Chains A and B, each alone.
Chain A
Protein backbone atom coordinates (compact mmCIF):
# COMPACT_ATOMS: atom_id res chain seq x y z
CA UNK A 1 0.00 0.00 0.00
CA UNK A 2 1.88 3.05 -1.23
CA UNK A 3 -0.75 5.39 0.21
CA UNK A 4 -0.54 4.24 3.81
CA UNK A 5 1.08 7.51 4.89
CA UNK A 6 -2.08 9.37 3.86
CA UNK A 7 -4.59 7.29 5.79
CA UNK A 8 -4.26 9.17 9.09
CA UNK A 9 -5.09 12.36 7.18
CA UNK A 10 -7.83 11.12 4.85
CA UNK A 11 -9.82 9.03 7.36
CA UNK A 12 -10.63 11.89 9.79
CA UNK A 13 -11.38 14.14 6.81
CA UNK A 14 -13.98 11.71 5.44
CA UNK A 15 -15.52 11.19 8.87
CA UNK A 16 -15.66 14.94 9.49
CA UNK A 17 -17.54 15.46 6.21
CA UNK A 18 -19.95 12.64 7.08
CA UNK A 19 -20.53 14.13 10.54
CA UNK A 20 -21.64 17.39 8.95
CA UNK A 21 -24.66 15.61 7.47
CA UNK A 22 -26.57 15.02 10.75
CA UNK A 23 -25.61 17.61 13.37
CA UNK A 24 -28.66 17.14 15.62
CA UNK A 25 -28.40 13.40 16.23
CA UNK A 26 -26.06 13.49 19.23
CA UNK A 27 -25.70 9.76 19.87
CA UNK A 28 -24.85 9.10 16.21
CA UNK A 29 -22.37 11.98 16.28
CA UNK A 30 -20.58 10.42 19.24
CA UNK A 31 -20.47 6.95 17.74
CA UNK A 32 -19.28 8.07 14.30
CA UNK A 33 -16.67 10.43 15.74
CA UNK A 34 -15.21 7.75 17.98
CA UNK A 35 -15.30 5.24 15.13
CA UNK A 36 -13.47 7.75 12.93
CA UNK A 37 -10.72 8.44 15.45
CA UNK A 38 -10.36 4.72 16.24
CA UNK A 39 -10.00 3.94 12.52
CA UNK A 40 -7.36 6.65 12.31
CA UNK A 41 -5.55 5.16 15.28
CA UNK A 42 -5.54 1.72 13.65
CA UNK A 43 -4.17 3.15 10.39
CA UNK A 44 -1.53 5.10 12.33
CA UNK A 45 -0.47 1.88 14.06
CA UNK A 46 -0.18 0.12 10.69
CA UNK A 47 1.85 3.02 9.38
CA UNK A 48 4.05 2.88 12.48
CA UNK A 49 4.85 -0.80 12.01
CA UNK A 50 5.47 -0.21 8.29
CA UNK A 51 7.88 2.67 8.96
CA UNK A 52 9.71 0.78 11.69
CA UNK A 53 10.28 -2.24 9.42
CA UNK A 54 10.70 -0.66 5.96
CA UNK A 55 12.05 2.79 6.76
CA UNK A 56 10.75 6.15 5.54
CA UNK A 57 7.48 6.05 3.59
CA UNK A 58 7.29 8.76 0.94
CA UNK A 59 4.55 9.25 -1.62
CA UNK A 60 4.29 12.08 -4.12
CA UNK A 61 0.68 12.93 -4.85
CA UNK A 62 -0.76 12.53 -8.32
CA UNK A 63 2.03 10.22 -9.56
CA UNK A 64 4.18 13.24 -10.42
CA UNK A 65 7.95 12.93 -9.98
CA UNK A 66 9.19 14.07 -6.59
CA UNK A 67 10.14 17.73 -6.51
CA UNK A 68 7.19 18.69 -8.77
CA UNK A 69 4.28 17.12 -6.93
CA UNK A 70 3.45 17.42 -3.24
CA UNK A 71 5.40 14.86 -1.27
CA UNK A 72 3.98 13.29 1.85
CA UNK A 73 6.75 11.84 3.96
CA UNK A 74 6.26 9.64 6.97
CA UNK A 75 9.50 9.10 8.82
CA UNK A 76 9.76 7.81 12.37
CA UNK A 77 9.41 11.27 13.92
CA UNK A 78 6.25 12.16 12.04
CA UNK A 79 4.61 8.78 12.57
CA UNK A 80 5.35 8.93 16.31
CA UNK A 81 3.70 12.34 16.46
CA UNK A 82 0.74 11.24 14.33
CA UNK A 83 0.27 8.28 16.63
CA UNK A 84 0.37 10.33 19.82
CA UNK A 85 -1.86 13.09 18.45
CA UNK A 86 -4.47 10.51 17.40
CA UNK A 87 -4.27 8.85 20.80
CA UNK A 88 -4.74 12.17 22.58
CA UNK A 89 -7.72 13.04 20.37
CA UNK A 90 -9.36 9.70 21.15
CA UNK A 91 -9.10 10.24 24.91
CA UNK A 92 -10.26 13.83 24.64
CA UNK A 93 -13.30 12.61 22.68
CA UNK A 94 -14.18 10.15 25.46
CA UNK A 95 -13.76 12.98 27.94
CA UNK A 96 -15.87 15.43 25.93
CA UNK A 97 -18.92 13.17 25.88
CA UNK A 98 -19.78 13.79 29.56
CA UNK A 99 -18.40 17.33 29.78
CA UNK A 100 -19.00 19.29 26.61
CA UNK A 101 -22.81 19.53 26.75
CA UNK A 102 -25.51 18.53 24.29
CA UNK A 103 -25.90 22.05 22.92
CA UNK A 104 -22.28 22.23 21.83
CA UNK A 105 -22.39 18.68 20.49
CA UNK A 106 -25.29 19.65 18.27
CA UNK A 107 -23.41 22.53 16.70
CA UNK A 108 -20.68 20.70 14.79
CA UNK A 109 -18.37 20.04 17.73
CA UNK A 110 -17.20 16.62 16.51
CA UNK A 111 -16.61 17.67 12.87
CA UNK A 112 -14.43 20.52 14.16
CA UNK A 113 -12.39 18.11 16.30
CA UNK A 114 -11.89 15.77 13.35
CA UNK A 115 -10.92 18.64 11.02
CA UNK A 116 -8.42 19.71 13.68
CA UNK A 117 -6.98 16.21 13.65
CA UNK A 118 -6.79 16.23 9.85
CA UNK A 119 -4.76 19.42 9.99
CA UNK A 120 -2.47 18.21 12.77
CA UNK A 121 -1.75 14.84 11.16
CA UNK A 122 -1.27 16.51 7.78
CA UNK A 123 1.17 19.05 9.19
CA UNK A 124 3.20 16.24 10.77
CA UNK A 125 3.28 14.24 7.53
CA UNK A 126 3.76 16.74 4.74
CA UNK A 127 7.05 17.12 2.90
CA UNK A 128 6.25 20.39 1.18
CA UNK A 129 6.66 23.75 2.84
CA UNK A 130 3.60 25.35 1.27
CA UNK A 131 1.50 22.29 1.98
CA UNK A 132 2.63 22.66 5.59
CA UNK A 133 1.14 26.14 5.50
CA UNK A 134 -2.15 24.77 4.15
CA UNK A 135 -2.38 22.08 6.81
CA UNK A 136 -1.55 24.60 9.52
CA UNK A 137 -4.41 26.74 8.20
CA UNK A 138 -6.71 23.69 8.27
CA UNK A 139 -5.95 23.09 11.91
CA UNK A 140 -6.13 26.80 12.73
CA UNK A 141 -9.56 27.18 11.08
CA UNK A 142 -10.83 24.24 13.13
CA UNK A 143 -9.25 25.75 16.24
CA UNK A 144 -10.94 29.10 15.57
CA UNK A 145 -14.26 27.27 15.44
CA UNK A 146 -13.46 25.38 18.64
CA UNK A 147 -12.12 28.32 20.65
CA UNK A 148 -15.32 30.32 20.08
CA UNK A 149 -17.58 27.25 20.21
CA UNK A 150 -20.49 27.95 22.56
CA UNK A 151 -20.11 31.73 22.30
CA UNK A 152 -19.55 32.65 25.95
CA UNK A 153 -18.30 36.16 26.62
CA UNK A 154 -14.66 35.32 27.51
CA UNK A 155 -14.50 32.99 24.51
CA UNK A 156 -15.60 35.76 22.16
CA UNK A 157 -13.09 38.19 23.62
CA UNK A 158 -10.16 35.77 23.51
CA UNK A 159 -10.98 34.37 20.09
CA UNK A 160 -10.54 37.83 18.58
CA UNK A 161 -7.00 38.03 19.98
CA UNK A 162 -6.26 34.48 18.90
CA UNK A 163 -7.54 35.16 15.39
CA UNK A 164 -5.56 38.38 15.05
CA UNK A 165 -2.29 36.83 16.18
CA UNK A 166 -2.69 33.80 13.96
CA UNK A 167 -3.73 35.74 10.88
CA UNK A 168 -0.68 37.97 11.23
CA UNK A 169 1.63 35.02 11.72
CA UNK A 170 0.07 33.20 8.77
CA UNK A 171 0.62 36.25 6.58
CA UNK A 172 4.25 36.24 7.72
CA UNK A 173 4.40 32.55 6.88
CA UNK A 174 3.27 33.22 3.32
CA UNK A 175 5.88 35.99 2.93
CA UNK A 176 8.57 33.73 4.38
CA UNK A 177 7.65 31.00 1.91
CA UNK A 178 7.72 33.58 -0.89
CA UNK A 179 11.24 34.69 0.07
CA UNK A 180 12.41 31.12 0.30
CA UNK A 181 10.88 30.31 -3.09
CA UNK A 182 12.45 33.32 -4.76
CA UNK A 183 15.89 32.33 -3.44
CA UNK A 184 15.72 28.59 -4.07
CA UNK A 185 12.96 28.11 -6.68
CA UNK A 186 11.48 25.07 -4.96
CA UNK A 187 8.99 24.27 -2.19
CA UNK A 188 9.63 20.58 -1.67
CA UNK A 189 11.47 20.13 1.63
CA UNK A 190 13.81 17.42 0.37
CA UNK A 191 14.63 19.48 -2.70
CA UNK A 192 15.21 22.51 -0.46
CA UNK A 193 17.64 20.44 1.58
CA UNK A 194 19.54 19.68 -1.64
CA UNK A 195 19.51 23.23 -3.01
CA UNK A 196 20.15 25.34 0.11
CA UNK A 197 23.72 24.08 0.76
CA UNK A 198 24.61 25.03 -2.84
CA UNK A 199 23.51 28.65 -2.44
CA UNK A 200 26.28 31.04 -1.57
CA UNK A 201 24.09 33.89 -0.28
CA UNK A 202 24.14 32.62 3.30
CA UNK A 203 23.10 36.03 4.61
CA UNK A 204 19.68 36.08 2.98
CA UNK A 205 19.06 32.44 3.92
CA UNK A 206 19.84 33.25 7.55
CA UNK A 207 17.30 36.06 7.42
CA UNK A 208 14.72 33.64 6.01
CA UNK A 209 15.58 31.07 8.69
CA UNK A 210 15.00 33.66 11.41
CA UNK A 211 11.74 34.71 9.73
CA UNK A 212 10.59 31.09 9.84
CA UNK A 213 11.57 30.97 13.51
CA UNK A 214 9.33 33.99 14.12
CA UNK A 215 6.45 32.39 12.17
CA UNK A 216 6.63 29.01 13.87
CA UNK A 217 7.45 30.73 17.14
CA UNK A 218 4.06 32.42 17.03
CA UNK A 219 2.39 29.03 16.62
CA UNK A 220 4.60 27.31 19.19
CA UNK A 221 4.50 30.15 21.75
CA UNK A 222 8.20 30.86 22.23
CA UNK A 223 9.57 33.88 24.10
CA UNK A 224 8.62 36.71 23.33
CA UNK A 225 5.83 35.57 21.01
CA UNK A 226 3.84 33.61 23.61
CA UNK A 227 1.81 36.59 24.88
CA UNK A 228 -1.42 35.43 23.19
CA UNK A 229 -1.42 31.93 24.64
CA UNK A 230 -2.29 32.26 28.35
CA UNK A 231 -5.41 34.34 27.68
CA UNK A 232 -6.62 32.46 24.62
CA UNK A 233 -6.21 29.01 26.13
CA UNK A 234 -8.03 30.10 29.28
CA UNK A 235 -11.31 30.71 27.46
CA UNK A 236 -12.57 27.44 25.89
CA UNK A 237 -14.00 24.44 27.81
CA UNK A 238 -11.55 21.95 29.27
CA UNK A 239 -11.82 19.23 26.61
CA UNK A 240 -11.01 21.74 23.87
CA UNK A 241 -8.24 23.22 25.99
CA UNK A 242 -6.69 19.75 26.43
CA UNK A 243 -6.75 19.28 22.67
CA UNK A 244 -5.13 22.68 22.09
CA UNK A 245 -2.56 22.28 24.83
CA UNK A 246 -1.53 18.85 23.63
CA UNK A 247 -1.51 19.41 19.86
CA UNK A 248 -1.43 22.97 18.56
CA UNK A 249 1.82 24.35 19.94
CA UNK A 250 3.47 21.02 19.16
CA UNK A 251 2.86 21.56 15.45
CA UNK A 252 4.89 24.76 15.66
CA UNK A 253 7.61 22.94 17.61
CA UNK A 254 7.65 20.14 15.04
CA UNK A 255 7.92 22.67 12.20
CA UNK A 256 10.94 24.31 13.86
CA UNK A 257 12.48 20.88 14.44
CA UNK A 258 12.01 19.89 10.82
CA UNK A 259 13.18 23.07 9.16
CA UNK A 260 16.11 23.64 11.53
CA UNK A 261 17.48 20.13 11.12
CA UNK A 262 16.63 19.48 7.48
CA UNK A 263 17.61 22.60 5.61
CA UNK A 264 18.34 25.66 7.72
CA UNK A 265 21.74 24.30 8.70
CA UNK A 266 23.90 26.69 6.66
CA UNK A 267 24.71 29.05 9.53
CA UNK A 268 24.34 27.04 12.73
CA UNK A 269 26.59 29.39 14.66
CA UNK A 270 23.95 32.11 14.41
CA UNK A 271 20.55 30.44 13.99
CA UNK A 272 20.93 27.61 16.48
CA UNK A 273 22.64 29.87 19.01
CA UNK A 274 19.63 32.18 18.74
CA UNK A 275 17.29 29.20 19.11
CA UNK A 276 19.09 28.04 22.26
CA UNK A 277 18.94 31.49 23.87
CA UNK A 278 15.26 31.91 22.98
CA UNK A 279 14.49 28.43 24.31
CA UNK A 280 16.06 29.22 27.67
CA UNK A 281 14.21 32.55 27.87
CA UNK A 282 10.97 30.69 27.02
CA UNK A 283 11.55 28.29 29.91
CA UNK A 284 12.20 31.15 32.34
CA UNK A 285 9.15 33.12 31.18
CA UNK A 286 6.98 30.00 31.52
CA UNK A 287 8.28 29.30 35.02
CA UNK A 288 7.47 32.81 36.17
CA UNK A 289 3.91 32.40 34.91
CA UNK A 290 3.48 28.92 36.35
CA UNK A 291 4.46 30.10 39.82
CA UNK A 292 2.61 33.40 39.71
CA UNK A 293 -0.97 32.15 39.47
CA UNK A 294 -3.39 30.58 41.91
CA UNK A 295 -5.50 29.26 39.07
CA UNK A 296 -5.12 25.60 38.11
CA UNK A 297 -5.76 26.22 34.41
CA UNK A 298 -3.21 29.05 34.23
CA UNK A 299 -0.55 26.93 35.96
CA UNK A 300 -0.83 24.13 33.40
CA UNK A 301 -1.05 26.62 30.53
CA UNK A 302 2.29 28.17 31.53
CA UNK A 303 3.71 24.65 31.75
CA UNK A 304 3.01 24.29 28.00
CA UNK A 305 5.35 27.22 27.41
CA UNK A 306 8.07 25.68 29.62
CA UNK A 307 7.90 22.40 27.69
CA UNK A 308 8.19 24.22 24.35
CA UNK A 309 11.39 25.82 25.62
CA UNK A 310 12.83 22.50 26.80
CA UNK A 311 12.15 20.76 23.48
CA UNK A 312 13.58 23.59 21.41
CA UNK A 313 16.71 23.71 23.56
CA UNK A 314 17.34 20.04 22.76
CA UNK A 315 16.92 20.70 19.03
CA UNK A 316 19.26 23.68 19.09
CA UNK A 317 22.14 21.44 20.22
CA UNK A 318 22.16 19.44 16.95
CA UNK A 319 23.77 16.39 18.56
CA UNK A 320 22.33 12.90 18.97
CA UNK A 321 21.52 13.20 22.67
CA UNK A 322 19.82 16.58 22.34
CA UNK A 323 17.70 15.65 19.31
CA UNK A 324 16.63 12.26 20.67
CA UNK A 325 15.79 13.86 23.99
CA UNK A 326 13.63 16.43 22.22
CA UNK A 327 11.74 13.76 20.33
CA UNK A 328 11.09 11.71 23.45
CA UNK A 329 10.11 14.81 25.40
CA UNK A 330 7.78 15.96 22.60
CA UNK A 331 5.86 12.67 22.61
CA UNK A 332 5.78 12.62 26.42
CA UNK A 333 4.62 16.20 26.57
CA UNK A 334 1.68 15.66 24.20
CA UNK A 335 0.36 12.85 26.38
CA UNK A 336 1.08 14.37 29.79
CA UNK A 337 -0.32 17.81 28.92
CA UNK A 338 -3.58 16.26 27.73
CA UNK A 339 -3.72 14.13 30.88
CA UNK A 340 -3.02 17.09 33.18
CA UNK A 341 -5.65 19.28 31.55
CA UNK A 342 -8.22 16.51 31.85
CA UNK A 343 -7.29 15.98 35.53
CA UNK A 344 -7.50 19.69 36.23
CA UNK A 345 -10.83 19.69 34.41
CA UNK A 346 -12.19 17.16 36.86
CA UNK A 347 -10.90 19.33 39.72
CA UNK A 348 -12.76 22.36 38.42
CA UNK A 349 -15.93 20.30 38.03
CA UNK A 350 -15.68 18.96 41.60
CA UNK A 351 -14.98 22.35 43.21
CA UNK A 352 -17.00 24.44 40.79
CA UNK A 353 -14.08 26.85 40.46
CA UNK A 354 -10.53 26.91 39.12
CA UNK A 355 -9.19 29.02 42.01
CA UNK A 356 -6.71 27.03 44.11
CA UNK A 357 -7.43 29.01 47.27
CA UNK A 358 -11.03 27.80 47.29
CA UNK A 359 -9.98 24.13 47.13
CA UNK A 360 -8.87 21.69 49.79
CA UNK A 361 -9.05 18.28 51.43
CA UNK A 362 -10.06 16.26 48.41
CA UNK A 363 -7.81 13.27 49.20
CA UNK A 364 -10.37 11.95 51.72
CA UNK A 365 -13.25 11.75 49.30
CA UNK A 366 -11.33 11.05 46.05
CA UNK A 367 -8.14 9.16 47.00
CA UNK A 368 -7.57 7.44 43.63
CA UNK A 369 -8.00 10.71 41.77
CA UNK A 370 -5.51 12.36 44.12
CA UNK A 371 -2.78 9.78 43.60
CA UNK A 372 -3.35 9.77 39.82
CA UNK A 373 -2.85 13.50 39.86
CA UNK A 374 0.35 13.15 41.88
CA UNK A 375 1.74 10.59 39.41
CA UNK A 376 0.94 12.90 36.48
CA UNK A 377 2.56 15.82 38.32
CA UNK A 378 5.73 13.81 38.98
CA UNK A 379 5.70 12.66 35.36
CA UNK A 380 5.59 16.27 34.18
CA UNK A 381 8.52 17.26 36.38
CA UNK A 382 10.59 14.28 35.27
CA UNK A 383 10.93 12.09 38.37
CA UNK A 384 12.93 9.00 37.26
CA UNK A 385 10.62 6.08 36.55
CA UNK A 386 8.08 8.36 34.85
CA UNK A 387 7.92 9.62 31.28
CA UNK A 388 9.36 13.11 31.71
CA UNK A 389 12.69 11.75 32.85
CA UNK A 390 14.41 10.08 29.84
CA UNK A 391 13.70 12.98 27.50
CA UNK A 392 14.90 15.65 29.88
CA UNK A 393 17.96 13.59 30.81
CA UNK A 394 18.99 13.34 27.16
CA UNK A 395 18.33 17.03 26.54
CA UNK A 396 20.48 17.98 29.54
CA UNK A 397 23.17 15.59 28.34
CA UNK A 398 22.97 17.17 24.88
CA UNK A 399 23.50 20.60 26.43
CA UNK A 400 26.58 19.45 28.33
CA UNK A 401 28.03 17.78 25.22
CA UNK A 402 27.30 20.87 23.15
CA UNK A 403 28.34 24.42 23.85
CA UNK A 404 25.44 25.36 26.12
CA UNK A 405 26.15 23.80 29.51
CA UNK A 406 24.52 26.84 31.14
CA UNK A 407 21.28 25.96 29.35
CA UNK A 408 21.34 22.49 30.84
CA UNK A 409 21.84 23.99 34.26
CA UNK A 410 18.81 26.22 33.73
CA UNK A 411 16.72 23.21 32.65
CA UNK A 412 17.75 21.25 35.75
CA UNK A 413 17.01 24.17 38.03
CA UNK A 414 13.66 24.95 36.42
CA UNK A 415 12.56 21.31 36.74
CA UNK A 416 12.29 22.05 40.43
CA UNK A 417 10.06 25.04 39.68
CA UNK A 418 7.89 22.89 37.39
CA UNK A 419 7.56 20.34 40.18
CA UNK A 420 6.76 23.09 42.66
CA UNK A 421 4.07 24.56 40.39
CA UNK A 422 2.16 21.29 39.99
CA UNK A 423 2.72 19.94 43.48
CA UNK A 424 1.29 23.21 44.73
CA UNK A 425 -1.97 22.19 43.02
CA UNK A 426 -1.75 18.84 44.80
CA UNK A 427 -1.07 20.39 48.20
CA UNK A 428 -3.80 23.00 47.93
CA UNK A 429 -6.50 20.83 46.40
CA UNK A 430 -5.94 17.49 48.10
CA UNK A 431 -4.52 18.31 51.53
CA UNK A 432 -5.75 20.62 54.25
CA UNK A 433 -9.25 21.41 55.40
CA UNK A 434 -11.98 20.03 53.13
CA UNK A 435 -13.52 22.83 51.10
CA UNK A 436 -17.06 23.04 49.77
CA UNK A 437 -17.49 20.60 46.84
CA UNK A 438 -20.21 20.17 44.28
CA UNK A 439 -21.79 16.74 44.64
CA UNK A 440 -21.47 14.97 41.32
CA UNK A 441 -23.03 11.76 40.17
CA UNK A 442 -20.72 8.73 40.56
CA UNK A 443 -21.31 7.64 36.97
CA UNK A 444 -20.62 11.13 35.63
CA UNK A 445 -17.40 11.28 37.64
CA UNK A 446 -16.25 7.88 36.40
CA UNK A 447 -16.96 8.75 32.76
CA UNK A 448 -14.56 11.69 33.18
CA UNK A 449 -12.00 9.90 35.33
CA UNK A 450 -11.56 6.61 33.48
CA UNK A 451 -10.22 8.00 30.15
CA UNK A 452 -7.98 10.38 32.10
CA UNK A 453 -6.59 7.60 34.27
CA UNK A 454 -5.87 5.45 31.21
CA UNK A 455 -4.00 8.35 29.64
CA UNK A 456 -1.93 8.79 32.81
CA UNK A 457 -1.26 5.03 32.83
CA UNK A 458 -0.02 5.32 29.23
CA UNK A 459 2.47 8.00 30.22
CA UNK A 460 3.69 5.73 33.03
CA UNK A 461 4.16 2.94 30.47
CA UNK A 462 6.04 5.37 28.23
CA UNK A 463 8.34 6.28 31.11
CA UNK A 464 8.85 2.84 32.62
CA UNK A 465 9.21 1.21 29.21
CA UNK A 466 11.56 3.87 27.87
CA UNK A 467 13.99 1.09 27.00
CA UNK A 468 11.41 -0.27 24.53
CA UNK A 469 10.71 3.09 22.94
CA UNK A 470 14.28 4.31 22.63
CA UNK A 471 15.06 2.38 19.39
CA UNK A 472 12.19 4.20 17.64
CA UNK A 473 13.28 7.53 19.08
CA UNK A 474 16.86 7.03 17.95
CA UNK A 475 15.55 6.03 14.49
CA UNK A 476 13.69 9.33 14.37
CA UNK A 477 16.73 11.20 15.62
CA UNK A 478 18.93 9.60 12.98
CA UNK A 479 16.73 10.93 10.17
CA UNK A 480 16.83 14.41 11.70
CA UNK A 481 20.60 14.39 12.05
CA UNK A 482 21.26 12.90 8.59
CA UNK A 483 19.12 14.83 6.12
CA UNK A 484 20.50 12.63 3.35
CA UNK A 485 18.26 9.76 4.56
CA UNK A 486 15.22 12.02 4.15
CA UNK A 487 16.39 13.35 0.79
CA UNK A 488 17.08 9.86 -0.60
CA UNK A 489 13.66 8.60 0.50
CA UNK A 490 11.83 11.45 -1.26
CA UNK A 491 13.95 12.00 -4.38
CA UNK A 492 14.69 8.32 -4.98
CA UNK A 493 14.12 8.04 -8.71
Chain B
Protein backbone atom coordinates (compact mmCIF):
# COMPACT_ATOMS: atom_id res chain seq x y z
CA UNK B 1 0.00 0.00 0.00
CA UNK B 2 1.39 3.36 -0.92
CA UNK B 3 1.16 5.99 1.77
CA UNK B 4 -0.06 9.42 0.85
CA UNK B 5 2.93 11.76 0.87
CA UNK B 6 1.21 14.92 -0.36
CA UNK B 7 2.86 16.96 2.40
CA UNK B 8 6.36 15.91 1.37
CA UNK B 9 5.65 16.42 -2.32
CA UNK B 10 4.16 19.89 -1.86
CA UNK B 11 7.00 21.01 0.37
CA UNK B 12 9.52 19.59 -2.10
CA UNK B 13 8.07 21.62 -4.96
CA UNK B 14 8.87 24.83 -3.05
CA UNK B 15 12.08 23.79 -1.34
CA UNK B 16 13.72 22.41 -4.47
CA UNK B 17 13.66 25.82 -6.10
CA UNK B 18 15.09 27.48 -2.99
CA UNK B 19 17.93 24.95 -2.90
CA UNK B 20 18.60 25.41 -6.61
CA UNK B 21 18.72 29.20 -6.27
CA UNK B 22 21.03 28.87 -3.28
CA UNK B 23 23.27 26.52 -5.31
CA UNK B 24 23.53 29.06 -8.10
CA UNK B 25 24.27 31.81 -5.57
CA UNK B 26 27.02 29.73 -3.92
CA UNK B 27 28.45 28.89 -7.33
CA UNK B 28 28.71 32.53 -8.44
CA UNK B 29 29.92 33.79 -5.06
CA UNK B 30 32.90 31.42 -5.03
CA UNK B 31 35.48 33.94 -6.13
CA UNK B 32 35.05 36.38 -3.25
CA UNK B 33 33.30 34.43 -0.50
CA UNK B 34 33.23 30.76 0.56
CA UNK B 35 31.63 28.59 -2.10
CA UNK B 36 32.42 27.65 -5.67
CA UNK B 37 31.85 24.89 -8.18
CA UNK B 38 32.23 21.96 -5.83
CA UNK B 39 29.76 23.06 -3.14
CA UNK B 40 27.41 24.47 -5.76
CA UNK B 41 27.41 21.16 -7.59
CA UNK B 42 26.74 19.19 -4.42
CA UNK B 43 23.84 21.49 -3.51
CA UNK B 44 22.33 21.08 -6.97
CA UNK B 45 22.65 17.33 -6.69
CA UNK B 46 21.01 17.44 -3.27
CA UNK B 47 18.04 19.29 -4.78
CA UNK B 48 17.64 16.54 -7.36
CA UNK B 49 18.00 13.89 -4.65
CA UNK B 50 15.20 15.58 -2.70
CA UNK B 51 13.03 15.26 -5.82
CA UNK B 52 13.95 11.58 -6.03
CA UNK B 53 12.98 11.06 -2.38
CA UNK B 54 9.65 12.80 -2.72
CA UNK B 55 8.72 11.25 -6.07
CA UNK B 56 10.39 8.23 -7.66
CA UNK B 57 13.25 7.63 -10.08
CA UNK B 58 11.22 7.34 -13.34
CA UNK B 59 9.32 10.57 -12.54
CA UNK B 60 12.51 12.47 -11.80
CA UNK B 61 14.05 11.11 -15.00
CA UNK B 62 11.09 12.60 -16.85
CA UNK B 63 11.42 15.96 -15.04
CA UNK B 64 15.21 16.21 -15.46
CA UNK B 65 15.95 14.28 -18.67
CA UNK B 66 19.74 14.42 -18.42
CA UNK B 67 22.28 11.68 -19.07
CA UNK B 68 24.60 12.37 -16.17
CA UNK B 69 27.59 10.56 -17.69
CA UNK B 70 27.40 12.88 -20.68
CA UNK B 71 27.05 15.80 -18.25
CA UNK B 72 30.29 14.70 -16.55
CA UNK B 73 32.09 14.44 -19.88
CA UNK B 74 30.86 17.88 -20.95
CA UNK B 75 32.00 19.36 -17.64
CA UNK B 76 35.43 17.80 -18.08
CA UNK B 77 35.68 19.16 -21.61
CA UNK B 78 34.71 22.68 -20.48
CA UNK B 79 37.35 22.59 -17.74
CA UNK B 80 40.07 21.31 -20.07
CA UNK B 81 39.09 23.77 -22.79
CA UNK B 82 39.35 26.69 -20.36
CA UNK B 83 42.79 25.57 -19.28
CA UNK B 84 43.89 24.83 -22.84
CA UNK B 85 42.71 28.18 -24.20
CA UNK B 86 45.96 29.56 -22.82
CA UNK B 87 47.86 27.41 -25.34
CA UNK B 88 46.31 29.41 -28.18
CA UNK B 89 47.69 32.63 -26.68
CA UNK B 90 51.07 30.92 -26.06
CA UNK B 91 51.16 31.52 -22.32
CA UNK B 92 51.64 28.74 -19.75
CA UNK B 93 48.78 26.28 -19.41
CA UNK B 94 46.02 27.33 -16.99
CA UNK B 95 46.79 31.06 -17.29
CA UNK B 96 43.48 32.82 -16.67
CA UNK B 97 42.27 36.18 -17.93
CA UNK B 98 39.75 38.68 -16.57
CA UNK B 99 38.32 42.06 -17.39
CA UNK B 100 35.53 44.43 -16.34
CA UNK B 101 32.38 44.62 -18.43
CA UNK B 102 29.32 46.85 -18.28
CA UNK B 103 26.47 44.39 -18.36
CA UNK B 104 22.92 45.69 -18.89
CA UNK B 105 21.34 44.45 -15.66
CA UNK B 106 24.32 43.97 -13.34
CA UNK B 107 26.31 47.13 -14.09
CA UNK B 108 30.07 47.00 -13.89
CA UNK B 109 31.01 43.33 -13.42
CA UNK B 110 34.34 41.56 -13.47
CA UNK B 111 34.26 38.44 -15.59
CA UNK B 112 37.02 35.92 -15.02
CA UNK B 113 37.82 32.84 -17.06
CA UNK B 114 38.26 30.87 -13.82
CA UNK B 115 34.46 30.99 -13.78
CA UNK B 116 34.33 28.74 -16.85
CA UNK B 117 36.68 26.29 -15.17
CA UNK B 118 34.41 26.34 -12.16
CA UNK B 119 31.44 25.68 -14.41
CA UNK B 120 33.24 22.55 -15.60
CA UNK B 121 33.84 21.49 -11.98
CA UNK B 122 30.17 22.19 -11.20
CA UNK B 123 28.93 19.98 -14.03
CA UNK B 124 31.35 17.17 -13.17
CA UNK B 125 30.29 17.22 -9.51
CA UNK B 126 26.59 17.15 -10.39
CA UNK B 127 27.17 14.45 -12.99
CA UNK B 128 29.28 12.19 -10.78
CA UNK B 129 27.07 12.52 -7.70
CA UNK B 130 23.89 11.85 -9.65
CA UNK B 131 25.45 8.90 -11.52
CA UNK B 132 26.42 7.30 -8.22
CA UNK B 133 23.01 7.86 -6.63
CA UNK B 134 21.04 6.84 -9.70
CA UNK B 135 23.06 3.68 -10.31
CA UNK B 136 22.71 2.53 -6.72
CA UNK B 137 19.05 3.52 -6.66
CA UNK B 138 18.19 1.59 -9.82
CA UNK B 139 20.13 -1.48 -8.69
CA UNK B 140 17.87 -4.42 -7.85
Contacts and interface: CB of A to CB of B under 8 A. Distances in A.
For the side of the interface on A, what is the size category?
10 to 19
A61 interface: yes
A282 to B, nearest CB: 37
A492 to B, nearest CB: 13
Contacts of A20: 69-70, 72-73, 76
Interface stretch (B14-22, B38-46, B92-100, B103-111): B92-100
A167 interface: no
A168 interface: no
B77 A17 contact: yes
Contacts of B87: 1, 3
Contacts of B70: 20-21
Contact of A18 (B77, B86, B93, B94): B77
Contact of A6 (B77, B91, B93): B93
A59 B93 contact: yes
Given A10-B84, A62-B96, A63-B95, A1 B90 contact: yes
Contacts of B95: 61-63
A62 B89 CA distance: 12
Nearest to A21: B73
Nearest to B86: A3
A21 B76 CA distance: 11
Interface string B51-71: 000000000000000000110
A335 interface: no
Contacts of A340: none
A62 B70 CA distance: 28
Contacts of A69: 92
A139 interface: no
Nearest to B79: A17
B76 A17 contact: yes
Interface string A45-74: 000000000000001111100000100100
A62 B97 CA distance: 10
A69 B86 CA distance: 15
Contacts of A62: 92-96
Contact of B77 (A14, A23, A60, A61): A14
A60 B84 CA distance: 14
B80 A60 contact: no
A191 B70 CA distance: 40
A264 B112 CA distance: 40
Given A20-B70, A20-B72, A21-B70, A3 B92 contact: yes
Interface in A1-28: 1-3, 6, 10, 13-14, 17-18, 20-21, 23
A18 B75 CA distance: 11
Contact of B93 (A10, A14, A21, A23): A10
A14 B81 CA distance: 9
Interface of B: 69-70, 72-73, 76-77, 80, 83-84, 86-87, 90-96
21 contacts: A1-B87, A2-B91, A3-B92, A10-B84, A14-B80, A17-B73, A17-B76, A18-B77, A20-B69, A20-B70, A20-B73, A21-B70, A23-B69, A60-B92, A61-B93, A62-B93, A62-B94, A62-B95, A62-B96, A63-B92, A69-B92
